[in-house]
Amino acid sequence: MRNLKICIAYNGTAYHGWQRQNNNITVQQIIEECIGRITDSKVTVHGCSRTDAGVHAREFCFSFTTQSAVPCHGLMRAMNAMLPDDIAVLSCEEAPEDFHARFSAKGKEYVYLVNNAPQKDPFGYKLALFYPYKLDEKRLGKAAQLFVGTHDFAAFCKAEAKEHLATTVRTVWDMRVARSGDTVSFTVSGDGFLHNMVRIIVGTLIYINEGKRTEDDILRSLETGQRDIAGITIPPHGLYLNKVFYTERETKEHENT
């Protein structure tokens, strides 16, 4: 029995998230059906995360066990030939027997993209949030530092999701806000993320930009866990799972940025 680790990239526009569902098309379903056809077997893959509907991934890893003898390079080539154009296999490798794409992950990095142009983009409107009002990336970058560190992020989590969690404490290693032309990116890395956590963090920063929240509200929301003190949950289509970390070296590099 082989244990394989595969990394993919995908545009999540056409999918109802990663995790297989009964009544909606998901990335996991497409992947499992594709591998099943290649290996002539029923396959269950384990993803590194559960991205929501409309969320994208520049690097998403999954693992699965198989008795198939198809070599990694052959499996990768066959998958890329069979998968739809909005999903691409980036790498495929043999993994240790105890490797699990989710439980072996030591951290992740997400990026949220905002199109901060005065007019909308008819070609990339599902790849970034259109926000025509001027964003002060320097001020927001400074405010974003308040999220760095180990905190209880209960105020930055979807309410229903908290009921199934042992803890809402997470550690954010680094957060940056940067501008490139009309695109403003919010990049955050940490040891783990709650449901909607990044989207609420960015929504809170946008509310600060609009004068609807202050830096003190960030501190109060972290201290009290009250969801209404934080900002809105912004739409999913600007969010990208950018990187998954599996080694101590990678985590240390981001902890020290």
Q: What are the pLDDT digits (tens) for 38-90?
A: 999 999 999 999 999 999 999 999 999 999 999 999 999 999 999 999 999 99
Angle at 74 between CA 69 and CA 75, to 5 degrees: 75
Domain boundaries, the chain: 2-94, 107-255
| Closest to 205 in 3D by CA, of 215, 196, 193, 197 | 215
Quote the CA–CA distance of 251 and 178 in Å, as a whole number.
Answer: 21
Residues 6+ apart with CB under 8 A from 16: 24, 25, 26, 53
Q: Report, in angstroms and rounded to the nearest whole number, the Rg of the chain calculated over CA atoms.
A: 19
Q: Is the pLDDT of residue 162 over 90?
A: no
What percent of the chain clears pLDDT 90, i.e. is strictly above it?
Answer: 91
C-alpha 176: how far from its chain's center?
A: 16
Quote the CA–CA distance of 76 and 40 in Å, as a whole number.
Answer: 16
pLDDT tens digits, 204-254:
999 999 999 999 999 999 999 999 999 999 999 999 999 999 987 666 666
Q: At what angle do helices 197-210 and 137-144 cross, to 10 degrees?
A: 130
Average pLDDT over residues 20-42: 96
Is 2-94 assigned to CATH 3.30.70.580? yes
pLDDT computed for residue 249 by the predictor: 67
Quote the CA–CA distance of 113 and 238 in Å, as a whole number.
Answer: 5
Active site residues: 52
Quote the CA–CA distance of 126 and 63 in Å, as a whole number.
Answer: 28
pLDDT computed for residue 45 by the predictor: 97
The two domains 2-94 and 107-255 share their CATH topology (first three levels equal) = yes
Q: At 103, give phi and psi (nearest 5°).
A: -75, -20
pLDDT tens digits, 193-206:
999 999 999 999 99
In one letter, which amino acid is 254?
H
Q: Top-level CATH class of 107-255?
A: alpha beta
- Assessment of whether the complete model's pTM goes beyond 0.85: yes
